[in-house]
């Protein structure tokens, strides 16, 4: 039997306060009562970031995934928690160097794989396909965060750059997965 008592002393699994379709952020940007609609831009951004983080967890559990890919995905999950906290109004910031670190990994991978000559059809290997889906989820999260900033939410340049670079990293990982498996990229015939 699982002991839940230790969880309840630090954080409840639910409070019931959101049953009416509202949520509370870290800061007071929500105004009177401190609650905003769950369908507004900030919760949409937070949900997209949460979805991305969860999907990265799924991808890194792929049997036979290279350790460096799994380690990179785990590091991305940690940084996404900071992005989420920042979007929710916490006093956390993603350092601008985080995007530069991702760029360095992407550049290193580009040195290992054939150059991009065309768009490619997602897939090849199961791991590559999962990474391609993760890339699209990352792009959606980036769009949702951008919408939140356009609605007045302050998000640091470091977080914005990180989200943009993360999708590039996931694309590089997808291409690397196919390359390491000896699977040639398939190009669309249009």
Per residue, the 3-state secondary structure of 148-167, as one string, reads HHHCCCCCCHHHHHHHHHHH
Token pair, residue 11, equals 């954080």
Q: Which domain holds residue 30?
A: 1-37
Number of domains in the chain: 2
The answer on 69 and 152 residing in a single domain is yes
Q: How many residues does the chain have?
A: 190
Give domain status of residue 9, yes or no: yes
pLDDT by residue for the chain (190 residues), tens only, comes to 344 344 445 767 767 766 767 666 766 555 545 777 666 788 999 999 999 999 999 999 999 999 999 999 999 999 999 999 999 999 999 999 999 999 999 999 999 998 888 888 888 999 999 999 999 999 999 999 999 999 989 999 999 999 999 999 999 999 999 999 999 988 888 8
The answer on 108 and 151 residing in a single domain is yes
Give domain status of residue 186, yes or no: no
E strand or H helix at 36, and its extent?
A: strand 35-37
Token pair, residue 120, equals 């490619």
136: which residues sit within 8 A by CB, 6+ positions away?
none
The answer on 53 and 5 residing in a single domain is no
């Amino acid at each position: 039997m699982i002991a839940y008592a230790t969880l309840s002393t630090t954080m409840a699994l639910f409070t019931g306060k959101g049953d009416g379709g509202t949520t509370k952020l870290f800061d007071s940007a929500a105004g009177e009562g401190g609650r905003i609609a769950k369908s507004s831009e900030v919760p949409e951004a937070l949900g997209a970031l949460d979805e991305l983080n969860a999907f990265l967890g799924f991808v890194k559990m792929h049997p036979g995934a290279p350790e460096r890919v799994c380690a990179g995905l785990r590091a991305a999950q940690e940084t996404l928690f900071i992005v989420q906290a920042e979007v929710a109004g916490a006093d956390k910031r993603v350092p601008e160097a985080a995007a530069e670190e991702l760029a360095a990994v992407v550049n290193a991978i580009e040195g290992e794989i054939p150059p991009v000559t065309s768009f490619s059809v997602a897939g090849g290997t199961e791991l590559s396909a999962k990474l391609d889906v993760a890339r699209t989820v990352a792009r959606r999260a980036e769009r949702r965060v951008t919408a939140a900033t356009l609605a007045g939410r302050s998000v640091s340049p470091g977080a914005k750059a990180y989200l943009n670079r993360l999708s590039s990293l996931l694309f590089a990982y997808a291409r690397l997965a196919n390359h390491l498996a000896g699977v040639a990229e398939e190009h669309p015939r249009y």
